[in-house]
């Protein structure tokens, strides 16, 4: 019980102190986790838990979509991708189709990996001497 409370406190502190970039990465990881759980629940023929996990994935995608800054060209592209993923998640939830979830899982992993790489590149540029001397 105490270990569980300590872990929850640690997790809450981590989330509260995370940068926006880290929070986005956590959301991508959550998206992947819920899609994978949905696949597992389909395999176990647990309809209710399949539904619950797919809805959690849909909520993350909806949040990504709602927070796009449309002043940037990339936001239009991401918006289309998020819309497609959301639509496929709805299809998967209606049909309980594992293949659809596997399809969106690959898209989610690609988005997460791309985001992770972009964060690393940005951090490297910020820390580089050229970037510091140019400021």
pLDDT at 126: 85
* Separation between Cα atoms, residue 27 and residue 45, nearest integer Å: 26
6: in domain: no
124: in domain: no
- What residues of the chain score a pLDDT lower than 50? 131-132, 134-135
* CATH number for position 94: 1.20.120.340
pLDDT at 38: 99
* Separation between Cα atoms, residue 98 and residue 92, nearest integer Å: 7
Question: Whats the size of the chain, residue-wise?
Answer: 135
47: in domain: yes
Split into its structural domains, the chain has a count of 1
2: in domain: no
9: in domain: no
* Separation between Cα atoms, residue 88 and residue 98, nearest integer Å: 11
Query: Which of 14, 48, 55, 15 lies closest to 34, judged by CA?
Result: 55
Place of tokens 């936001």: 75
pLDDT at 10: 64
pLDDT at 32: 99
35: in domain: yes
pLDDT at 4: 74
Q: Are 96 and 49 in contact (CB under 8 A)?
A: no
Range of the domain at 56: 18-113
pLDDT at 2: 76
33: in domain: yes
Place of tokens 């926006």: 20
């Amino acid at each position: 019980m105490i270990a569980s409370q300590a872990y929850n406190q640690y997790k809450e502190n981590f989330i509260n102190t995370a940068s926006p970039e880290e929070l986005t990465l956590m959301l991508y990881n959550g998206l992947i986790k819920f899609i994978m759980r949905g696949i597992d629940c389909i395999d176990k023929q647990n309809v209710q838990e399949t539904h619950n996990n797919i809805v959690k994935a849909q909520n993350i995608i909806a949040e990504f979509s709602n927070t796009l800054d449309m002043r940037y060209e990339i936001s239009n592209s991401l918006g289309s991708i998020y819309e497609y993923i959301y639509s496929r998640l709805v299809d998967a939830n209606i049909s309980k189709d594992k293949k659809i979830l596997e399809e969106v899982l690959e898209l989610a992993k690609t988005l997460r990996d791309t985001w992770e790489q972009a964060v690393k590149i940005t951090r490297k540029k910020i820390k580089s001497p050229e970037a510091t001397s140019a400021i």
